[in-house]
Structure 1
Amino acid sequence: MNIKNKKILVTGADGFIGSHLTEELVRQGYSVKAFVYYNSFNSWGWLDHAPKEIRDHIEVFAGDIRDPYGVKQAMKGCDVVLHLAALIAIPYSYHSPDTYVDTNIKGTLNVLQAARELGVEKVVHTSTSEVYGTAQFVPITEEHPLQGQSPYSASKIGADQIAMSFYYSFETPVSIIRPFNTYGPRQSARAIIPTVITQIANGYRSINLGSLHPTRDFNYVADTVRGFISVAESDRSVGEVINIGSNYEISIGDTVQLISDVMGQEVEIVIDSARLRPEKSEVERLWADNAKAKTLLGWEPQYGGQDGFRKGLEETVKWFTNPENLSRYKADFYNI
């Protein structure tokens, strides 16, 4: 599918991945409308910090993904929707699960209903590796069973199933992209890599963390963004769920050691009970099989393996340790 002459709506464009995706689409010459979360500060999230030459080429729509009328208004005139708007913090989903149903499931339903009614040519819905739960086999293919081990992951499973139901029931052209643990500049400090970097960068040598033994498949944000664009462009992605992952597994503990090595600091890890997930909710192991992405999309990670991971960490550390960027984070405060 040639989307160069199409109008693309990015929901969640003000967030971590969404802002990177929006900027890259503009750089590549796409026509982009950015759906950002309405707020009284008139903040466009991370898009406020985009270069002026990028911002000048973005049409911004401020709204709420939970409002079906507003979502439909935003989607009018758009040919392709890249749907990233979601609540993603796992600890907060223990606290306020109802908001995850409203935002992640009902918000996705609003996008799909509008897409069906408006005749949108492509909807790319964002899933997450958390829907797999603890790996029952590795590497994890798209056929792996789904396990809702947190209210967050359960809400994303629900959203994924709603998305596929529109494909099966109404032939809505839906593709599901399933990124594994994306990291990079602008990520929330609720995630493990920014948590470690910001604490070290602020002079802490005792680092407060949760569990160290779980493994993750970390995916640098530039690779995730290329995955989104590849899924949007591919006719073969319609009706498919596609993992975007590095196919490299590393424990949280080893990740901390690699970050400290990149930053040239020795650190002591302190287990903070407030940061531990409930025992049965902890996803112990994630490791992506990315063969389907390679076959259907021609996509593969540019930051794969240990060398690629270290390169991505170096770029991430460089961004976070810029004083202007670091000042936006509260390293001494645990935000669920």
Structure 2
Amino acid sequence: MKVLVTGGAGFIASWCRRELTARGHSVLVMDHQDRRHQLADGEEFFLGDVRDATAVTEAAAHVDGIIHLAAVLGTQETISNPRPSAETNILGSLNVFEASTQYDLPVVYAGVGNHAFRLVGTGCYTITKSAAEDLARMYNLYREGGRVTIVRPVNAYGPGQSVAKPYGTSKVRKIAPAFACRALTGTDIEVYGDGAQISDCVYVEDVARAFVTALEHTAVHGPTERPVEVGPLESRTVNDIARLVAEYAAKVTGREPVGIVHLPMRPGEVPNAVVKSDTTTLQQIGMTVADFVPLEDGIARTVDYYNTEWLPGYLAA
């Protein structure tokens, strides 16, 4: 297949592109910024914004399937400024679903692992991504050519994830780079809340495998009956993850493990939250969580990446 990857320059998208290429598919990268310099051999680039229905329809005309990852991210960031996430995550997804039905294309849509939080109050990111899930179900039920499988990863982590302030330029703080960068520089890890909340993390390579497998399944069999939830075999608390990062960073740097400090929870975060997956849903696409990278191994690979690829540049700046 030739596959359109929206938001194709992003973290998860870069791993999906590798997985697609490894399986013999060709890739058309769609992004709203000109990222042609990031393309691998054989990949094509389409400059366009998913909010532009004409651009999405034109890109869809040249492919056999779509992995829809383009989104505006953030929890408290989307509370203070909700419009961009509403426009991109809802209208952009609507444009993708509409174009896919026009050309009878299979689609995999990236849902969110904390979709249930919209019932208790959370950021616009979760609200808008969940709204697009509802649109996907509508297309599957009532529109000829509607073939959308929803894949809900929990917190994806791994090499290549962008770094937020004060260690990088990203506007959205992600748990693995936030913890790793602090630990590698000898700074205590900051955890929002008491850290007892469960926020499952899944290695990004496994997320990419799930997206590509879901697309191949949908192309042949149609959309899955239930969303495919992608997460680890065993749940851990945020404190557990922080300790793993601190301990492995200490091995890498030769220093004592950094401490863990607790900060007030941010707007949009739910106290005593449990974010975990029903990994039995992977069976719908012939996958099993038993094959996923264990958290300890994934954390080691991730900390190694930031130690070799990020830390030297940061220290030299």
Q: Same fold (TM over 0.5)?
A: yes
Match of 1:17 in 2: 12
Cα distance per residue 1:188-231 (max 9 Å; x no partner): 33111110101122232x23331212112211011111111111
Q: Distance in 2 between matches of 1:239 and 1:328?
A: 44
Question: What number of residue pairs does the alignment pair up?
Answer: 296
Kindly report which structure 2 residues correspond to 1:253-292, keeping only aligned pairs within 5 A, or say none. 253-264=239-250, 265-273=256-264, 276-278=265-267, 281-282=270-271, 284-292=273-281
Q: Shift of the alpha carbon at 1:167?
A: 0.8
CA RMSD of aligned residues (A): 2.3
Q: 2:100 aligns with which of 108, 112, 115?
A: 115
Preserved CA contact (<8 Å) 1:65 1:85 = yes
Letter in 1 for 2:150: I
Contact 1:10 1:35 in 2 (8 A): yes
For structure 1, which segment, 99-108 or 206-215, has the greater mean C-alpha deviation from structure 2 after superposition? 206-215
Counterpart of 1:133? 117
Decide whether aligned partners of structure 1 residues 270 and 58 sit closer, same or farther in structure 2, where only a CA change above 3 A counts.
same
Structure 2 distance, partners of 1:295, 1:262, is 35
Matches within 5 A, 1:39-50: 42-44=34-36, 48=38
1:246 paired with 2:232, answer yes
- With structure 2 as the length reference, what TM-score do the two structures score? 0.86
Residue 76 of structure 1 corresponds to: 61
**Secondary structure at the residue paired with 2:275?**
coil
| Partner AA of 1:310 in structure 2 | E
Q: Is the 1:124–1:174 contact (alpha carbons within 8 Å) kept by the matching residues of 2?
A: yes
Change (3 A) 1:328 1:8: farther
Post-superposition shift, 1:95?
1.5
* CA distance 1:107–1:301, change in 2 (3 Å): farther
- 1:218-233 pair list within 5 angstroms: 218-233=201-216
- CA shift, 1:118, in A, is 2.3
Cα offset for 1:287? 2.1
- Helix, strand or coil at the partner of 1:263: helix
TM-aligned CA distance change 1:238 to 1:261, over 3 Å? same
Structure 2 letter corresponding to 1:119? D
Which residue among 125, 136, 161 is the counterpart of 1:163?
A: 136
Counterpart in 1 of 2:182? 199
Question: Per-residue deviation at 1:302?
Answer: 2.9
State how far apart, in whole Å, the 1-side matches of 2:24 and 2:101 are.
27
Q: Please tell me the residue identity of whatever aligns with 1:186.
A: G
Given the superposition, is the C-alpha separation of residues 280 and 90 from structure 1 closer, same or farther in structure 2, using an over 3 Å criterion? closer
Structure 1 residue 150, shift from structure 2 partner: 2.0
8 Å Cα contact 2:28-2:44 kept in structure 1: yes
Q: Give the C-alpha shift of residue 149 in structure 1.
A: 2.4
Q: Which runs of 5+ in 1 are unaligned?
A: 1-5, 135-145, 331-336
% identical equivalent positions? 28
Secondary structure of 1:250's aligned partner: coil
**Residue in 2 that maps onto 1:217:** 200
The one-letter amino acid of 1:43's match is R
